[in-house]
């Protein structure tokens, strides 16, 4: 069955609210966690390089992938995803300087979910290496503990960690490294097709102009 996909840019054009953006960021983080655990990093968080399959934000696809098990690259990958999150919430998709974000983070806090500010601050300013889905689990556990402290029979240990592995396996397979070349070839093919299309009209115009000159030469030059 053919996939129904849209780019993240198209999804953002539907004007999702903060809760919807948070859900997308959470599922994207689970996908990133899944990929990083299997030695794959995301090389671009541009909205044009991210797809949503079947209009289901649990099925988020990062299309620009590369293989790497270097710890520093994995940590940088999480940082860049966190920076993407700031841009996501603020609807700001232009270049965002790292040093400016770190030194002026308080200016960006207003656009982030209140409960998540400390997470973003930890990753951006202190270099924490904690995936958002882990933070979200601890946050939910804390809230439920406060909510259920007076409820008889409440067991905080019954809370399960968020899991999106089923959808991630559908999107990336059990071994995402096998998908790296597939995505790369697809992007190269698309770029080449765009280049051919771009060059088609100038070439055709040149040929037509050449034919006109040849006809003019034959008509006027041979008289």
pLDDT per residue, tens digit, the chain (223 aa), is 567 999 999 999 999 999 999 999 999 999 999 999 999 999 999 999 999 999 999 999 999 999 998 999 999 999 999 999 999 999 986 778 899 999 999 999 999 999 999 999 999 999 999 999 999 999 988 888 777 655 555 565 666 777 899 999 999 999 998 888 665 554 544 444 444 444 545 556 666 666 667 666 666 655 5
Of 10, 88, 52, the closest CA to residue 167 belongs to: 52
Alpha carbons 171 and 148: distance in angstroms, whole number = 37
Q: Which residues, in sequence order, are bridge partners of residue 209?
A: none
Whether the pTM exceeds 0.85: the reply is: no
Of 67, 70, 7, the closest CA to residue 43 belongs to: 67
Alpha carbons 12 and 8: distance in angstroms, whole number = 6
Of 11, 39, 5, 38, the closest CA to residue 25 belongs to: 11
């Amino acid at each position: 069955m053919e996939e129904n996909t849209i780019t993240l840019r198209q999804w953002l054009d539907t004007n999702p609210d903060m809760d919807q953006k948070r859900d997308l960021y959470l599922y994207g983080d689970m996908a990133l966690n899944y990929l990083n655990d299997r030695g794959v990093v995301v090389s671009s968080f541009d909205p044009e390089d991210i797809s949503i399959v079947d209009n289901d934000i649990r099925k988020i696809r990062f299309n620009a992938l590369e293989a790497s098990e270097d710890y520093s690259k994995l940590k940088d990958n999480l940082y860049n995803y966190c920076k993407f999150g700031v841009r996501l919430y603020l609807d700001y998709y232009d270049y965002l300087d790292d040093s400016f974000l770190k030194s002026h983070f308080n200016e960006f806090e207003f656009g982030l979910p209140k409960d998540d500010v400390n997470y973003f601050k930890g990753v951006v300013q202190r270099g924490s290496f904690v995936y958002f889905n882990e933070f979200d689990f601890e946050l939910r556990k804390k809230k439920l503990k406060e909510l259920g402290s007076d409820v008889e029979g409440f067991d905080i240990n019954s809370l399960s960690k968020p899991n999106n592995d089923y959808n991630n396996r559908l999107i990336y397979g059990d071994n995402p490294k096998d998908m790296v070349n597939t995505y790369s070839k697809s992007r190269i093919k698309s770029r080449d097709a765009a280049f051919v299309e771009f060059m088609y009209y100038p070439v055709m115009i040149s040929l037509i102009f050449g034919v006109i000159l040849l006809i003019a030469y034959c008509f006027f030059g041979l008289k």
